[in-house]
């Protein structure tokens, strides 16, 4: 039985995963692994949104990228996860303002657009799980989960905090971040960290769903 081991672990609460509605924004090095983990965990009602296509540089860190060079990420992923809903769209602040988040139990933010992240926090913090900088690092044991206000060692998270304070936003929402100092200035990335970010995002999402 496909989900037998999960049912053994979660018992009757497994039905909460089967009934959940998830919105996943960004399916790159972090988001693609969050998607795979959620799908393998019994979550089927997943909507993914991304505007990008696969190129050769994605192959070191993104699920299925080696099989779909030049193709739309969301369209390619729908081939491997046929029950998901795929939307080819750029997630920016304007899109966030216009989109209806009400139908979803959780909103998973695996994008790197600062303005969109700020808009997401302000509009749907109660449902939000956000990831910050996973690039430039090599040690997945430095990954932590806390509120946005307790992140440390991550300049991207610091920038988000600063901008939220300027907007007089003081609510809490969970953030996956790394306290490891970046090793380089360029956007080097290592799958052991980016994938671990995605798997951690999935774990946080599953725990939240089980608590409902």
Question: Could you please report the per-residue DSSP string of 14-49?
Answer: HHHHHH-EEEEE--STTHHHHHHHHHHTT--EEEEE
Spatial distance between the Cα atoms of 20 and 69, rounded to a whole number of angstroms:
31
- Please answer whether residues 191 and 57 qualify as being in contact, where contact means their C-beta atoms are separated by less than 8 angstroms: no
Of the pLDDT bands very low, low, confident and very high (cuts 50, 70, 90), residue 96 is: very high
Q: Which helix (H) or strand (E) holds 107?
A: strand 106-109
Joined tokens for residue 159: 């920038």
Of the pLDDT bands very low, low, confident and very high (cuts 50, 70, 90), residue 62 is: confident
Average pLDDT estimate for 94-116: 97
Give the whole-number percent of the chain exceeding pLDDT 70: 100
Res. 186: pLDDT tops 90? no
Closest to 194 (Cα-Cα) out of 149, 146, 132: 132
Of the pLDDT bands very low, low, confident and very high (cuts 50, 70, 90), residue 169 is: very high
Average pLDDT estimate for 178-197: 93
Query: What rounded mean pLDDT belongs to the chain?
Result: 95
Which domains does the chain possess? 4-211 (3.40.50.720)
Give the whole-number percent of the chain exceeding pLDDT 90: 87
Of the pLDDT bands very low, low, confident and very high (cuts 50, 70, 90), residue 61 is: confident
């Amino acid at each position: 039985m496909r989900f037998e081991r999960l049912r053994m672990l979660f018992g009757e609460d497994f039905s909460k995963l089967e009934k959940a509605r998830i919105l996943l924004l960004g399916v790159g090095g972090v988001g693609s692994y969050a998607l795979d983990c959620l799908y393998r965990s019994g979550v089927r009602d997943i909507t993914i949104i991304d505007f990008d296509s696969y190129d050769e540089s994605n192959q070191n860190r993104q699920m299925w990228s080696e099989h779909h060079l030049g193709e739309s990420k969301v369209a390619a992923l729908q081939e491997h996860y046929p029950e998901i809903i795929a939307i080819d769209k750029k997630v920016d602040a304007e899109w966030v303002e216009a989109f209806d988040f009400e139908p979803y139990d959780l909103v998973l933010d695996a994008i790197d657009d600062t303005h969109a992240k700020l808009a997401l926090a302000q509009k749907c913090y109660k449902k939000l799980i956000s990831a910050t900088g996973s690039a430039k690092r090599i040690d997945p044991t430095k990954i932590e989960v806390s509120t946005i206000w307790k992140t440390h060692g991550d300049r991207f998270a610091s920038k988000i905090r600063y901008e939220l304070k300027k907007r007089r936003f003081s609510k809490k929402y969970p953030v996956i971040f790394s306290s490891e100092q970046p090793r380089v200035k360029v956007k080097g990335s290592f799958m052991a960290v980016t994938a671990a970010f995605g798997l951690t995002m999935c774990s946080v999402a599953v725990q939240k769903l089980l608590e409902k």
